[in-house]
């Protein structure tokens, strides 16, 4: 899978100008992915083939949350309790429609595409960040998130025709590129 819009490295240079805000947003994003995995289990308890993997990803995202929280503390900050609406996820969810089955497939594909975008951007942050500890964290995280991209698509293909999944993935990638290229740059992942 390949993103249809490439984030320029200048995005990262600008994003890290306010590293504290970036970390707050990132901590929140990690926590949300962990929650999303748990909520998929709660909503679709009969899809037993993927429960183990959803739990595993949830655990990994929660660990990322812990690590980002540690970086927030390392910079002398605390969680600010501000939960910003994520215009990126809101935009992606706007194309979700249909019955429960279609919704299930879309959620998994959107999760995968969002992981791909996150991974792309973490790599850029790792490249431009001057604080070695934070740079190392993001360069490693970029690789860890890469594994999740395939996991979500594989889960979708357990329940749906792989051709349908690939077709829908392309539609969602196009929408994702439109959304990402039109959003103003912030000190946030999206």
Residues that bind Fe ion (CB under 5 A): 30, 61, 64, 115, 145, 148
Residue nearer to Fe ion on the CB measure, 51 or 102: 51
Residue nearer to Fe ion on the CB measure, 30 or 176: 30
Residue nearer to Fe ion on the CB measure, 102 or 139: 139
DSSP string, 135-182: HHHHHHHHHHHHHHHHHHHHHHHHHS-HHHHHHHHHHHHHHHHHHHHH
Question: What's the angle, vertex CA 121, arms to CA 81 and CA 145, rounded to 5?
Answer: 85
In the 8-state DSSP scheme, what is residue 6? P
CB of 183 to Fe ion, least distance (A): 20
In the 8-state DSSP scheme, what is residue 18? G
Q: How far is Cα 147 from Cα 34, in angstroms, rounded to an integer?
A: 15
Q: How far is Cα 107 from Cα 113, in angstroms, rounded to an integer?
A: 10
Residue nearer to Fe ion on the CB measure, 28 or 145: 145
CB of 190 to Fe ion, least distance (A): 14
CB of 65 to Fe ion, least distance (A): 8
Residue nearer to Fe ion on the CB measure, 145 or 176: 145
Query: Do 58 and 66 form a contact (C-beta atoms < 8 A)?
Result: no
CB of 163 to Fe ion, least distance (A): 26
CB of 2 to Fe ion, least distance (A): 18
Q: How many residues does the chain have?
A: 190
């Amino acid at each position: 899978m390949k993103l249809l819009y490439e984030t320029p490295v200048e995005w990262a240079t600008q994003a890290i100008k306010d590293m504290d805000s970036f970390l707050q947003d990132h901590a929140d994003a990690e926590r949300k992915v962990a929650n999303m995995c748990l909520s998929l289990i709660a909503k679709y308890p009969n899809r037993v083939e993927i429960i183990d993997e959803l739990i595993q990803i949830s655990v990994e995202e929660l660990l990322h949350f812990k690590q980002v929280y540690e970086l927030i503390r390392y910079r002398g900050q605390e969680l600010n309790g501000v939960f910003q609406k994520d215009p990126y996820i809101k935009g992606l969810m706007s194309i979700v429609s249909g019955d429960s089955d279609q919704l299930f497939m879309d959620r998994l594909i959107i999760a995968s595409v969002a992981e791909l975008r996150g991974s792309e951007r973490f790599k850029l942050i790792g490249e431009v960040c001057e604080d070695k500890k934070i740079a190392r964290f993001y360069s490693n995280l970029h690789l860890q998130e890469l594994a999740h991209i395939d996991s979500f698509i594989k889960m979708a293909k357990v329940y749906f025709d792989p051709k349908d999944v690939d077709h829908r993935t392309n539609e969602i990638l196009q929408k994702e590129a439109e959304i990402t290229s039109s959003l103003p740059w912030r000190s946030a992942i999206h």
